[in-house]
């Protein structure tokens, strides 16, 4: 077994197979790599829902966590592992690669000649599972925007996916928003200099065709008439993608008295979660009185990174945005105005407010994601305060929230309908990794 470069460990043989495993995970030497994955009959296998895959996929539980193992030929397995490692390095929203298994058979083209090991993504579900089950409901706009945003973020990173479909895009709740995650990197290519418009268009066309095929397949599997299938769903996602791409990449023209628009533009992108890494100001005339503003946009980790810097708390992007608002609320309430005072208040907030409430939440029944539940509470406090016209405080909001059955965020398209928390309908640990 070879340890991934940069990790610590020893090299030991594992039958005929070669295992490359990242540090901090099981060695997986207990698995029968000499036989096909579909023939494994192991006590630590876990049955979890998954999307349609061209390869055999199984889930296994270890003390370190849940893992997905995908069986596939050697070349695509290496490509999948390499792409996912690169995506992880620059913080792209993709499943986390844990290991690569090679030389499982003499023929590298054989389906069982290699295997990819990835970490299970908790609280996540595939779009195919959603559509084939309860459908979008009132979350359609939110879910399709999130699907499109995933493609925007990948394309900003120079990623040509080549196989985007309903089965290999996962979603999970992120405060009032939806986070999407890429699955399967075996067809992907990363271009360090960025994607051309032609390659982006090609990737979108592949997505449109795959989504249409997925919708037709769902109709067939559920016995529905093909005419009733939403075969234009991919076109809808593509339209949303184009709008988001334009918003993120457009150039602005500003005059000498409009420098404030630079800050407005940055705040707009930060509101979408994007970091702004550079601001280029290019004169468009000889006098320099008008400037073209072009922003270099990074990943969607602005609030996540800020929360980590201030408090050390890890959260998803939109969760971090909501939690930061609670921190700022605490700083205002304590009268912290200087940089030092704000830093001290951030520590006090975590010790006095955040950690004690998180501990109380963890002891509630059916709580699978305490951070998301904390965000539900913050939203409830906001709506209560808005209703009475004054701050009700976290403790009063917590008691009222419990009495009302712990409501979550309301769906933006229909304020009368609340987003169902995952535990209300199914185990939120039933996620998908292929």
Q: Would you state the torsion angle of the CA atoms of residues 368, 371, 377, 382, taken in this order, to the nearest 10 degrees?
A: -150
Q: Under a CB-based contact definition with an 8 Å cutoff, are residues 402 and 381 in contact?
A: no
Which pLDDT tens digit goes with each residue over 76-128?
999 999 999 999 988 888 999 999 999 999 899 999 999 999 999 888 889 99
Strand pairing class (57-62; 45-46): antiparallel
- What integer is the mean pLDDT of 182-204? 95
Q: Is 24 left (phi over 0), alpha (psi -120 to 50) or beta?
A: left
Model pLDDT, residue 428 = 32
Q: Under a CB-based contact definition with an 8 Å cutoff, are residues 401 and 380 in contact?
A: yes
Confidence of residue 227 (pLDDT cuts 50, 70, 90): low
Which pLDDT tens digit goes with each residue over 239-263?
999 999 998 888 888 877 776 787 7
Share of the chain above pLDDT 90, in %: 45
Which pLDDT tens digit goes with each residue over 332-342?
777 777 888 88
Model pLDDT, residue 4 = 57
Model pLDDT, residue 434 = 32
More confident residue, 59 or 382: 59
CA dihedral sign of residues 184, 186, 187, 191: positive
Q: Does the structure show a pLDDT above 50 at 369?
A: yes
Cβ–Cβ contacts within 10 Å for residue 392, how many? 17
- What integer is the mean pLDDT of 190-217? 94
Q: Under a CB-based contact definition with an 8 Å cutoff, are residues 112 and 105 in contact?
A: yes
Domains in the chain with CATH codes: 2-119 (3.30.200), 126-247 (1.10.510.10), 319-403 (no CATH)
Q: Of 361, 271, 365, which is closest to residue 322 (Cα–Cα)? A: 271
């Amino acid at each position: 077994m070879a340890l991934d470069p940069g990790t610590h460990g020893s090299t030991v043989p594992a039958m005929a197979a070669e295992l490359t495993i990242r540090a901090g995970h099981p060695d997986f030497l207990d698995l029968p790599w000499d036989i096909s994955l579909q023939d494994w009959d192991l006590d630590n296998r876990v049955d979890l829902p998954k999307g349609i895959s061209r390869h055999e996929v199984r889930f296994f539980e270890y003390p370190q966590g849940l893992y997905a193992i995908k069986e596939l030929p050697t070349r695509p397995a290496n490509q999948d592992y390499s792409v996912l490692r690169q995506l992880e390095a620059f913080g792209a929203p993709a499943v986390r690669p844990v290991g690569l298994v090679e030389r499982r058979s003499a023929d590298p083209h054989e389906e069982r000649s290699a295997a990819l090991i990835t970490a299970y993504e908790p609280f996540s579900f595939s779009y195919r599972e959603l559509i084939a089950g309860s459908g979008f409901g009132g979350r359609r706009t939110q879910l399709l925007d999130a699907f499109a945003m995933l493609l925007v973020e990948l394309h900003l990173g120079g990623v040509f996916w080549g196989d985007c479909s309903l089965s290999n895009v996962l979603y999970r709740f992120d405060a009032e928003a939806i986070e999407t995650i890429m699955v399967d990197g075996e067809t992907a290519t990363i271009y360090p200099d960025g994607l051309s418009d032609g390659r982006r268009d090609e990737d979108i066309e592949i997505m449109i065709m795959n989504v249409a095929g997925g919708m037709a397949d769902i109709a067939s599997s559920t016995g529905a008439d093909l005419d009733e299938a939403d075969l234009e769903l991919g076109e809808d996602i593509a339209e949303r993608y184009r709008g988001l791409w334009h918003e993120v990449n457009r150039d602005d023209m500003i005059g000498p008295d409009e420098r404030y628009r630079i800050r407005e533009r940055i705040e707009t992108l930060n509101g979408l979660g994007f970091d702004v890494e550079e601001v280029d100001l290019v004169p468009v005339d000889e006098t320099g009185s008008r400037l073209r503003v072009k922003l270099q946009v990074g990943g969607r980790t602005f609030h996540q990174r800020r929360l980590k810097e201030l408090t050390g708390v890890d959260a998803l992007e939109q969760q971090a945005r909501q939690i930061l608002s609670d921190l700022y609320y605490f700083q205002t309430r304590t009268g912290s105005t200087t940089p030092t005072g704000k830093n001290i208040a951030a520590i006090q907030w975590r010790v006095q407010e955040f950690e004690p409430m998180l501990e109380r939440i963890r002891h509630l029944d059916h709580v699978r994601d305490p951070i998301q539940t904390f965000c539900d509470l913050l939203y409830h406090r906001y709506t209560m305060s808005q209703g009475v016209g004054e701050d009700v405080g976290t403790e009063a909001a917590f008691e009222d929230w419990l009495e009302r059955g712990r409501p979550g965020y309301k769906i933006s398209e229909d304020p009368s309908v609340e987003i169902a928390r995952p535990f209300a309908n199914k185990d939120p640990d039933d996620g998908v990794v292929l």
